[in-house]
Structure 1
Amino acid sequence: MRAPIVSLREVTADTVRTICELSPHEAQSGFVAPNAVSIAQAHFNPAAVFRAVYADDEPVGFMMWRPGDESGGCFLWRFMIAGGHQGKGYGREAIGLWLKSLPPQGYKLAQTSYVAGDGGPHGFYLAQGFRDTGETRANGERVMELAL
């Protein structure tokens, strides 16, 4: 049996409700905003790009990014894999697809931030190659980056 193919797809009028219903494990809800909030925020930030994460034809997550505050940087603003789909490698694959897409667009640095806490995403991002910068954002989130 083959592993599902992970892809990043546009959220459409036909898929938006399904994507908005995806959520992480309940214990992780304090680490990422609901997808509906992220999509609404993206509509007020013209530079934001958001995509649904699919495993074959099944939506399993959501990610959103924008140009970073530093020249040549791209900031991963939101990322989540639905609770029932975690631990299957979909997150790793989705981040890999995103990272591969950045250099052709002129980006030299990938950045993200995270809420610290048990069950949070820090270890996941470390495993993807991100490193702590030591910077803390005004909202208390800690910043990580990965040179591309």
Structure 2
Amino acid sequence: MPEVSLQEITASTVRAVTDLQVAPEQESYVASNAVSIAQAYFHRDAWFRSIHKGDELIGFVMLRDSTLLTPAPAPAQLSLWRFMIDRRFQKAGLGRKALALVVAYARTRPGVTAIHTSYVVGPHGPMEFYLSFGFRHTGEVKPNGEVALVLELA
């Protein structure tokens, strides 16, 4: 099986990234990639990549990485802001492989000890995926109703 990789999005690949789609029943759980990329340009701490299996585009990930700010605030914070695998490639273990690459990236960031994320509660949401990967509930519910999770990197 070809390797999963995270790649920079370029002018020649951005349209294909914005064309990726989750399953219809998942659409209310994650923003579109077009909205995500637009938001990234207004946040200096945004880090975003396309997800590939070999040469094939399969998904999108976006983080908020406080170590990208100058000066970087203490303590360092890294949040999984958006994560999606196109509906054609789900249920094949590719999301787990991509998330493992995100964890590897996080481990290279100075002062980062955990990855934070949150999810929308619902029958087709990502809770089980995140919990099976090792994230745990923090007990926090965000003002927008999303439930907070954390993955300790220690």
**Structure 2 residue 88 is the aligned partner of structure 1 residue 84:** yes
Shift of 1:64: 0.1
Matched to 2:131, the amino acid is L
The residue number in structure 2 matching 1:105 is 109
Residues 18-68 of structure 1 deviation map (CA, whole Å, 9 limit, x = unaligned): 000001000000000000000000000011000000000111000000136
What corresponds to 2:99 in structure 1? 95
Aligned match of 1:40: 38
Query: Runs of 5+ in structure 1 lacking a partner?
Result: none
State the one-letter code of the partner of 1:26.
P
* Residues 61 and 82 in structure 1, CA contact (< 8 A), matched pair in contact too: yes
SS of equivalent residue, structure 1 residue 117: coil
**Partner in structure 1 of residue 122 of structure 2:** 117
**Contact 2:5/2:53, CA 8 A, preserved across alignment:** yes
Q: Distance in 2 between matches of 1:109 and 1:17?
A: 32
Q: Do residues 133 (structure 1) and 138 (structure 2) align? A: yes
Q: Distance in 2 between matches of 1:128 and 1:41?
A: 27
Q: List 4+ stretches of structure 1 deviating above 2 A.
A: 67-73
Asked if the contact 1:72–1:109 (Cα under 8 Å) also holds between the matched residues in 2, the reply is no
Normalised TM-score (structure 1): 0.95
Q: Aligned Cα RMSD in Å? A: 1.3
Give the counterpart letter for 2:94 in structure 1: Y
Instruction: Report the TM-score when normalising by structure 2.
Output: 0.91
Aligned partner of residue 13 in structure 1, secondary structure: coil
Unaligned runs of 5+ in 2: 67-72
Contact 2:47 2:65 in 1 (8 A): no
Aligned-pair identity in percent equals 45
* 1:143 partnered with 2:148: yes
Aligned residues: 146
Could you tell me whether the CA contact under 8 Å between 1:110 and 1:147 is conserved in 2? yes
Aligned-partner SS, 2:124: coil
Aligned counterparts of 1:16 and 1:122: Cα–Cα separation in 2: 28
Note if contact 1:136-1:143 (Cα within 8 Å) is conserved in structure 2: yes
Q: Give 1:18's aligned amino acid.
A: A
Give the letter aligned to residue 124 of structure 1: F
Aligned with 2:108: secondary structure?
helix
Structure 1 residue 8, shift from structure 2 partner: 0.3
